[in-house]
């Protein structure tokens, strides 16, 4: 059944090639129809008049999120992924990678199989789209495990990864891996050949070892500064290599907790808007508030917007993408156009979905977010479905 067309009017539209002031954008059958033209919809269209101070931007893409709303990818159920997908539009996120974590192999396999099946057959219209899977661990360094359980870390194994990719129905799109571990370069090279993003993370690699990983095909860095060898004036480490090499796109958790605002500003100056991807690395406690939660069988305490293990180790975040975007603007002085680059364009291009996601252009998926003058989310459309409207929360 055809859906009624929707037209958003009067706000500033941040299109792929230009900003249209007091513009109009039309959606029909899940796609963007066009801008500021005679849409020929007659009386069939639903017209939504917006204040001139509002902004219409592309939906955000979170390539690193474990959970939200009490659910986690490692729960390995359709219900968990549906919960995550249903709450993300509240923060302007219209698609994401379901992110696993280091666990016993059978638990990882259940999560991968479940996510693969969910992507194929379980997605719910009107929710954020699960674009694929981010495999974070277990091919990481014990020295830089962070909140990843050390006992479940294993050496990179190409044959095992191939089995896991088959189990996931080919939907693993990004893999966090430590390039200094034996067997990693073979895996990274294979990932590159298969158009899977190889991301350096939870790594104690030296600068030279990072460069070797890059030569093998690594192109991404998982949550820069966190879970990696830091910058030293005689050993640049993972951080130094990430800042120096344009081949590497860097994730940032812009909550002001995982990385100090001053270093976020420094990173932005060095990398620019085309080589930064904002992520949340959120865990199940997002949207639920302070309390005790589970992360991979470990007790996590959430208090004052910070999630930690018993020993004080940071255990993911509870930040929302629109909050990260606002923080980034505050920390760096960047513009909304820069935010669109870091939350929509860059991840869409990395995941090879820019032909249908990541910008507002005719023919692309109608993943659209309306922001007010304070950059708070007013409405979110996922493939033309009104998925969130402020004031409608139950």
Domain residue limits at 231 = 59-350
> Do 345 and 379 fall into the same domain?
no
The catalytic position among 281, 338, 365, 367 is 281
Tell me the C-alpha distance between 345 and 257, whole Å: 25
289 known ligand binder: no
pLDDT, tens digit, for every residue of 318-377? 899 999 999 999 999 999 999 999 999 999 999 999 999 999 999 999 999 999 999 999
Residue 29 lies in a domain: yes
Place of tokens 């902004």: 55
pLDDT, tens digit, for every residue of 86-133? 999 999 999 999 999 999 999 999 999 999 999 999 999 999 999 999
Higher pLDDT, 292 or 330: 330
209 known ligand binder: no
Can you give the CATH number for the domain in which 299 is found?
A: 3.20.20.140
> Do 35 and 160 fall into the same domain?
no
Provide the pLDDT for residue 147.
87
Is a pLDDT exceeding 60 seen at residue 38? no
Residue 328 lies in a domain: yes
* pLDDT band with cut points at 50, 70 and 90 for residue 310: confident
Residue 1 lies in a domain: no
Strand 46-49 vs strand 6-9: parallel, antiparallel, or unpaired? parallel
Q: Is 365 a catalytic residue?
A: no
- Of the candidates 216, 231, 132, the one whose C-alpha atom is nearest the C-alpha of residue 178 is 216
Question: In degrees rounded to 5, what are phi and psi of residue 350?
Answer: -60, -35
pLDDT, tens digit, for every residue of 269-291? 999 999 999 999 998 877 777 88
258 known ligand binder: yes
Residue 315 lies in a domain: yes
Can you give the CATH number for the domain in which 367 is found?
A: 2.30.40.10
pLDDT, tens digit, for every residue of 198-219? 999 999 999 999 999 999 999 9
> Do 323 and 281 fall into the same domain?
yes
> Do 65 and 48 fall into the same domain?
no
**Number of structural domains the chain divides into:** 2
> Do 34 and 126 fall into the same domain?
no
> Do 128 and 215 fall into the same domain?
yes
Question: In 241-328, where do the E strands start and end?
Answer: 249-252, 276-278, 291-295, 298-303, 306-308
Dihedral angle computed from the Cα positions of residues 386, 288, 281 and 122, in that order, rounded to the nearest 10 degrees: -50
Provide the pLDDT for residue 180.
98
Provide the pLDDT for residue 98.
98
* pLDDT band with cut points at 50, 70 and 90 for residue 387: very high
Phi-psi region of 202 (alpha: psi -120 to 50; beta: other; left: phi over 0): left
> Do 15 and 71 fall into the same domain?
no
> Do 261 and 308 fall into the same domain?
yes
Question: In degrees rounded to 5, what are phi and psi of residue 3?
Answer: -90, 155
How is 203-241 classified by DSSP, letter by letter?
Answer: B---HHHHHHHHHHT--EESSTTTTB---BTTB-HHHHH
202 known ligand binder: yes
Residue 189 lies in a domain: yes
> Do 375 and 276 fall into the same domain?
no
* pLDDT band with cut points at 50, 70 and 90 for residue 295: confident
pTM of the model: 0.96
Tell me the C-alpha distance between 61 and 279, whole Å: 8
Share of the chain above pLDDT 90, in %: 85
> Do 184 and 284 fall into the same domain?
yes
> Do 73 and 32 fall into the same domain?
no
Residue 394 lies in a domain: no
> Do 157 and 257 fall into the same domain?
yes
Is a pLDDT exceeding 70 seen at residue 22? yes
Residue 118 lies in a domain: yes
Is a pLDDT exceeding 90 seen at residue 256? yes
Residue 152 lies in a domain: yes
227 known ligand binder: yes
Taking residues 178-198, report their average pLDDT: 98
């Amino acid at each position: 059944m055809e859906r009624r067309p929707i037209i958003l009017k009067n706000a500033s539209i941040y299109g792929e090639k230009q900003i249209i002031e007091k513009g109009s954008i039309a959606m029909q059958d899940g796609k963007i129809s066009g801008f500021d033209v005679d849409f020929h919809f007659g009386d069939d269209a639903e017209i939504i008049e917006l204040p001139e101070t509002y902004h219409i931007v592309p939906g955000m893409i979170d390539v690193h999120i474990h959970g939200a709303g009490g659910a986690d990818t490692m729960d390995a159920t359709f219900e968990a992924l549906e919960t995550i997908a249903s709450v993300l539009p509240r923060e302007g996120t219209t698609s994401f990678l379901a992110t696993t974590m280091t666990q016993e192999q059978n638990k990882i396999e259940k999560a991968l199989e479940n996510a693969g099946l969910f992507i194929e057959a379980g997605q719910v219209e009107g929710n954020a789209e699960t674009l694929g899977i981010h495999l974070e661990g277990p091919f990481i360094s014990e020295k830089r495990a962070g909140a990843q359980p050390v006992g479940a870390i294993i050496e990179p194994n190409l044959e095992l990864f191939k089995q896991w990719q088959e189990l996931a129905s080919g939907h693993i799109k990004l893999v966090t891996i430590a390039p200094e571990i034996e067997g990693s370069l073979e895996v990274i090279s294979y990932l590159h050949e298969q158009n899977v993003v190889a991301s350096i993370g939870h790594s104690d690699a030296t600068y030279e070892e990072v460069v070797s990983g890059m030569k093998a095909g690594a192109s991404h860095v998982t949550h820069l500064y966190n879970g990696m060898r830091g910058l030293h004036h005689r050993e640049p480490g993972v951080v130094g290599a990430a800042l120096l090499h344009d081949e590497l796109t860097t994730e940032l958790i812009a909550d002001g907790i995982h990385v100090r605002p001053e270093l976020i500003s420094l990173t932005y100056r060095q990398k620019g808007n085309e080589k930064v991807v904002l992520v949340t690395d959120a865990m199940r406690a997002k949207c639920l508030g302070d309390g005790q939660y589970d992360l991979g069988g470990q007790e996590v305490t959430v208090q004052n917007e910070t999630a930690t293990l018993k020993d004080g180790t940071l255990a993911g975040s509870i930040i929302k993408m629109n909050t990260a975007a606002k923080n980034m603007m505050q920390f760096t002085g960047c513009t909304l156009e820069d935010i669109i680059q870091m939350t929509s364009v860059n991840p869409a291009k990395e995941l090879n979905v820019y032909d249908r996601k990541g910008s507002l252009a005719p023919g692309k998926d109608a993943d659209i977010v309306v922001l007010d003058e304070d950059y708070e989310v007013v409405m979110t459309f996922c493939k033309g479905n009104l998925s969130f409207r402020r004031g409608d929360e139950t």
